[in-house]
Amino acid sequence: MAKRNILKMGDPLLRKVCKPVDTFDVKLWRLIDDMTDTLHAVGGLGLAAPQVGMLKRVCIVEYDDQHFELVNPVLVHSSGKCVDNEGCLSVPGFRGLVERPESIDVEYFDRFGKKHHQHAEGYFARVFLHEMDHLDGILFADKMIKKIIDDD
């Protein structure tokens, strides 16, 4: 396992639509393990494969002591609206207020190709949606309704 370099806004790879995973092999596992190492090294709630330069529909979410590995995630239902602030490891220097659904249902596959369903609400849902946006080349900065400059 190894820490990988995180691409920053301005890198064209962050703007690509990622390809679905069709082979659940050791290469995929290595990518997920490296992404996990990278996230743990820098700290954060999630990381998407394009942020380490891999244009695959893979992201990880760590929320409330839970670790999720999402392969080919699909939003199957969403409802409500809420505004909260978010940031991104690929967008250093500022955060922003973003409107997102309050409640979501996501279907995804794990690293072994087994299908899962996850319901999420509030900030938990926000983290899923933020990471899934990365897979379509979308950054929170594209959607923010107010920019918040970090003090530090």
56 DSSP assignment: B
What is the enclosing helix (H) or strand (E) of 86? Answer: strand 82-88
131 is catalytic: yes
Indicate the residue among 109 and 140 with the shorter CB distance to Zn ion. Answer: 140
> Could you count the other beta carbons within 10 Å of the beta carbon of residue 79?
10
- CB 92: neighbour CB atoms within 10 A? 11
Length of the chain: 152
Distance of alpha carbon 27 from alpha carbon 122, whole angstroms = 33
Give, as ranges, the residues between 90 and 149 that touch Zn ion (CB under 5 A).
Answer: none
Q: Considering the complex, state which of residue 21 and residue 88 has its C-beta at the smaller distance from Zn ion.
A: 88
Count residues contacting Zn ion (CB under 5 A)? 1
Stretch that binds Zn ion, among 53-61, 86-94, 98-106, 109-117 (CB under 5 A): 86-94
The reply to whether 88 sits near Zn ion by the rule CB under 5 A is yes
- The least distance separating Zn ion from the CB of residue 134, rounded to whole angstroms, comes to 6
The catalytic residue positions are 131
Residues of the shown chain interacting with Zn ion in the complex, contacts defined by CB under 5 A:
88
